[in-house]
Structure formats: C-alpha cells, structure tokens
Chains A and B, each alone.
Chain A
C-alpha cells in the first residue's frame, strides 16, 4: 500500500500515518498470532495432575483460561469421549506435576496421557516399573523390541496400546529445557516429513507440502511460456492500436475474476470437457470409472495456470516496456533483425521482470484453495503422486494441498478443536512459503530497478 505524501497539512499527515500504523499492526498481529500458536504446538508442555474438591483426578495440559475456569487438554478420547475439560479454578485442591506421567501420540484415537504400568516384549516377557520404562526408552530409540504397552489414566482406568500404534512418546515432566528443545525440533520435523494420521488430526503434512509444490511447479511450467509469449506478442509483435489496448484491459480484468469462477471453468472445460474426451479415447476400458474425467493434478495445475496468467503477462509487459528504445535502435542499427534484437537485448533485460511475474504467480497459486476444491484436491491422499511406477508422475491422481488441508483440519475434521494447533502450524507453514516467494520477487525487482537506474545515469 502506498499512501500519497501530503506535506505540510498536519491532519492529513497524522491520518495517513495512523493508517499505515494500523495496517502494520494488523499484519504484525496476524503473523505473531499464527506463528506463535503454530510453533507452540510442538513444545512439550508440562502435564499437570489436578485433584478436585470432589475427589476427581484429572491430568492434562493447561491451554487457556476464562472467567475463573481453566481449560485442560486431557487427551484420552477413547476413555473420556472428549479431549478437553473446563475446570473451575476454585475446585482445584491440589496441583502436581508427577514425573512419571507420559504423553503418547497414537495413530488412532489421538494422544494419551497417563502412566505406564507394564510392558510386553516379543519374547513374551512382562516387565514392570523402572525396568519397563527403561526398556520402553530403548524401544523408542529403536534398540529394543516391545509389543504391547499397559497403561492407566490418572483415574486408574487401564488400557492396552500396541507399540506399533505409538507415533511418539515422552515424559514431559522429566524433561529439562534441552530435552524439550530437542523434542520440539523433532516434533517440527515430524510435522514436515510425515503423512497425516488419525483422520488428519495428527501426524504431519508432508503429502500436502509435496502436493502444493508439485502443483505449483507444474503450473509454472505451463504459465511461464504462455504468459511470456503472450506478453511478447502484445508488446513487440502486434501492431499497437485499439485492439491491443482492448486485449490489455481484458487481461487486467481477468486478474480480478473471483478464483472460484476459474474453478468452475476448470471443472467444465478441463475435467468434464477435455478429461471426458481423453477418457473416451484412451481409457475407454476403465469406464465408467474416470481416469482424467475427474479432478486431478493436471487439471488443477492448468486451472491455476489460467488464474495466474494475467500476473505473468502484466509483469512481463512492464519489463519489456522498460527496455529503452535507444537500446533497441542501437541493436537494429548494428544490423540485427527485430527477432535478434528481441532475443539478445530486449528479453535478457526483461528477464528479472518475467521472473518476478512467475514468482508472484507462484505465490498466488500456492495460496489458492477455492478453485482446487472443484478440480482435484483431496482431503487425504497420503500417497504422493510421484513414484517408481510408470509413468512416474501421475498427472491424473488426486493430491493434497496445504491450503485445503488447513481448511479440512479446522472446519471439516472430526475434532476441529483438537486440530486447532495443527491449523496454526499449517498456516505458519503456508505463510512462510508465501513470504519467502514474495521476498524473492521483491529482491529481484529491486535488482532490476538498480540496473535501470544505472542506465539513466549514464
């Protein structure tokens, strides 16, 4: 946003200054909220054990408070039916942090909080107490084998957990700050590198990261040549007149069309139209189950390429328009043809603008969700669309996407509230990706400007 400079007039100065401050504040607040809550999710917080005045016992992690009540994340959905408890602060008689309380993430049923009572090994041994814990630690490090964990919640209700079901396990109350940092790093790494589990409320987001990147790469492969060639034609080849002006206006307006409309277009033209024909020509033996006649990676990439086409065209045109006439004439005067001039002088000089355009397009595409819901994104597709099987890249397969995953976690999953921290973590990731892309674009543009200034001074 650029506020017009109004010198002298005090009121305007204050007003415009206040607007800038407010905008900055809003951006900073947004980033701080998303990033802190996203990153805090992986911090192994202490587990409190509460004894209430009615004798009840609760174990959980404090997460917020409101009007004399405290909220605890108590996990153990299979035992309690839910994972959150509001507790009146006055009703709490005792608070402890018993070191033996453990926190386990399971592939089904979500996290568990409680105590280890016994352990079974493949040899049929049954270990208890300190010995069980030692063996469990070795098993977690991969040095020993364990089959089943016998655990109890703080109320004493027993549960058996297969070791294979355990995604991670720790004793947060025994950790020092170093251990916690290590656990935090490990948690972040698992988030980035693992597939979602437990109905998307646990595990990581790797397929979504991969899907987003792959789709964006395919999109750039399509949008870059089309956008650049279109801009070259408009700016360098076509005769300038009312028609080119009309096309320019149309391109700029295309950028303002709501993205869901592109989704509808993609569904109608790519999926049903093109995909339907492809199926009837090449994949008839599989009908009625569609191959390309349903949403998939290819159609999503094409739809987003269409969506971002104006960004690339406009940026490229700006870059081309910036190349001084003097340099074009200098080249022509040396006996270069128009094409040679374009290739050797004009395009190299407009290259940073083109790159900027592509990066802005990528940043835009990485954040789009609405059109994808129509043309191929999936709630859960843990298999990434690249594998060792011919044709290696499966353009017809559904894929996961960070933006859609975010929506799914927060608003469509079984336990939206439990997934909230993951929503923030995913949002942080998305913001980081887009900020990095935009920063790259800004640096490139700065570079370009510096080059043009150098020319003007000479």
Chain B
C-alpha cells in the first residue's frame, strides 16, 4: 500500500498534545524538528514529548528517520557538516543547541548504545572506566566501585568478574552489548538512547537486554529504536510510529498496539506495510 492511498484525515499529523503523562514530567521536548542530509529531508516538522523515567519506543520502517532522530538528541549530527536542522530540542527544559551548552556534557547526560556493539579495543575494565576517567575520577578504589556497580547494573558482572582485564573483544556479541550499556551507565546519564540494541543478537541475548531495559527505567529515561514490534510492545510504555520522516502516531504502547487511531499505524503493526 502506498502513501497516496491514505485518506486526508489519516495523513494529518498528531501532535504530542494527544499524549499526556499523568504520572511524570517530560524529559525531551522536541518541537517542530526538521533535519536534512545534504538538503534531502530526513525528519519533517516533528513535535514530540518524551516522558521521564519511562521507556519510549520509536518504531517505523527502515529509513524512516528513527536513527536520525535519536542522533539528534545527543547532537551526534554536529560531526557531519552536511546536516541542516530546524526546530528545537529541549532537555529538562533547556535548549540543547543553546550557546552555553557543553556538548561533551550533554552527551554524557544522554548516553547512546548503537546497533552493533562497539567496545573499545581495551580490557573490559578499561571500557567501563573510560567515560568515568574522562570525568576526572582517578582513584583506583572509586573506579573499581563504579566499574562493579555499572557491570552489575548491566547484568554482566557475574559473567566477567573473574577476568576484568580480558580484552573486551573476546566477549560474545550479547555480552559486548551489555558491556557497552555498562560503559554508558557508568557515567550516570539521565537518558539512555538505544538504537536497535538487540537487532544483531540471538534471542537469549535479546531477552536479557529487554529485561535490563525494563529494570533501568527506575533510574533513567530510555528511548528505544526497534523494528521489532513485539519488542516495542514488551518493553515500552509509549510508542511513536514514524514514517518517511514524519511522526504518524504517538500513544501509550497498549493503546497504540490494541487500538491504533490511524489505518497507517494499524497496517504497519499488523505487518501489512513496511
């Protein structure tokens, strides 16, 4: 089914005003965000509020702009000077593109886990200590404590505690991804962005990651990009459906999956499109 066959009512965008979070405040406020690569639009006039200490899932067909949106939230696009942006992103009320914003500090607050695990070519310990050291922590005792805490939070401690000084590259894919999560947790972020964190993993590793995500929301805000509908349904509290750079529908996960307002959403989640 092509976009042309949607009715006019259906293609009308829903603003985040539709969703309110009765029990929490908003973490990210995205307002009229448009983003283009070399003039080619990838996000169009996107407005969305992400709730604090909840798991929000971004779903949508491949190439719809999920990763682009995620990378906008910690300003990874800054590295690419072909990217142009319009609109605002606020984190806890503060514009992340403001003049007085320290990008490195922003990225520490907004941690990111990528699709393929990317541990550094160092030991397990050094991987986790990496960001902590950047914060100026030098004392061995303190580092040891943070490393252990982070590895435990990422449910990896029991598997690696015997040899923390083994190379991170000797771990399995699932372990590596949990190591990357531990590494990110170690710098105490407020938000954790996860870009298809389990898509390269086997089912058992995927389950472990999902458990982990559910457990972490008491500590921080999580945003999960996934193309796996069941996964979104299992772990997220809110779900946003993106299509061709636009936000199509945004609702509490239960509502979106059981009672979508739009045909486009229904078609996608039932597997007829995308």
Contacts and interface: CB of A to CB of B under 8 A. Distances in A.
Give the secondary structure class of A's interface.
helix
Nearest to B193: A333
Given A334-B108, A334-B183, A455-B121, 9 more contacts: A329-B76, A330-B120, A332-B76, A332-B104, A333-B184, A334-B134, A335-B131, A335-B135, A340-B134
Contacts of B107: 332-336
A327 interface: yes
22 contacts: A327-B118, A327-B121, A329-B79, A329-B112, A330-B114, A330-B118, A330-B119, A331-B120, A332-B104, A333-B111, A334-B107, A334-B108, A334-B111, A334-B131, A334-B183, A335-B105, A335-B107, A335-B134, A336-B104, A344-B130, A454-B169, A458-B176
A42 to B, nearest CB: 48
Interface-centre pick from B107, B118, B130 (highest chain A CB count, 10 A): B118
A345 interface: yes
Contacts of A335: 104-105, 107-108, 131, 134-135, 187
A451 B167 CA distance: 11
Given A330-B118, A455-B121, A336 B131 contact: yes
Interface-centre pick from B79, B105, B107, B112 (highest chain A CB count, 10 A): B107
B52 to A, nearest CB: 20
A337 interface: yes
A330 B107 CA distance: 10
B135 A329 contact: no
B116 A334 contact: no
Interface residues of A, number: 22
Interface in B167-212: 169, 173, 176, 180, 183-184, 187
A349 B121 contact: yes
A334 B108 CA distance: 5
B51 interface: no
Q: Which 4 A-B pairs have the closest CB atoms?
A: A335-B108, A334-B131, A333-B112, A326-B118
A326 B114 contact: yes
B121 A337 contact: no
A456 to B, nearest CB: 10
A348 B126 CA distance: 14
Contacts of B81: 239
Nearest to A455: B169
Contacts of A99: none
Interface of B: 74, 76, 79, 81, 104-105, 107-108, 111-112, 114, 116-121, 130-131, 134-135, 169, 173, 176, 180, 183-184, 187
A327 B121 CA distance: 9
Interface-centre pick from A329, A330, A336, A348 (highest chain B CB count, 10 A): A330
Interface in A310-363: 324, 326-327, 329-337, 340, 344-345, 348-349
Interface-centre pick from B74, B130, B173 (highest chain A CB count, 10 A): B130
B268 to A, nearest CB: 29
Nearest to B113: A333
Nearest to A327: B118
A219 B94 CA distance: 53
A455 B176 CA distance: 11
A324 B105 contact: no
Contacts of A337: 104
Contacts of A454: 169
Contacts of A458: 117, 119, 169, 173, 176
Nearest to A454: B169
Contacts of B74: 333
Interface-centre pick from A331, A335, A348, A458 (highest chain B CB count, 10 A): A335
B124 to A, nearest CB: 13
Interface-centre pick from A326, A329, A454, A458 (highest chain B CB count, 10 A): A458
A79 B34 CA distance: 98
A151 B81 CA distance: 87
A450 B108 CA distance: 32
Contacts of B120: 327, 330-331, 345
B76 A333 contact: yes
A454 B130 CA distance: 21
A241 to B, nearest CB: 10
A344 B134 CA distance: 10
A324 B117 CA distance: 12
Contacts of B104: 332, 335-337
A351 to B, nearest CB: 11
Given A326-B116, A330-B114, A451 B121 contact: yes
A344 B133 CA distance: 11
B71 to A, nearest CB: 9
A336 B104 CA distance: 6
A330 B79 CA distance: 13
B130 A331 contact: yes
Contacts of A333: 74, 76, 107, 111-112, 184
B76 A334 contact: no
Contacts of B76: 329, 332-333
A72 B202 CA distance: 80
B184 to A, nearest CB: 7
A239 B74 CA distance: 22
A324 B118 contact: yes
Nearest to B106: A335
A455 B111 CA distance: 22
Contacts of A336: 104, 107, 130-131, 134
A330 B118 CA distance: 7
Interface-centre pick from B111, B116, B117, B131 (highest chain A CB count, 10 A): B131
Nearest to A323: B121
A435 B131 CA distance: 43
Contacts of B173: 458
Contacts of A330: 114, 118-120, 180
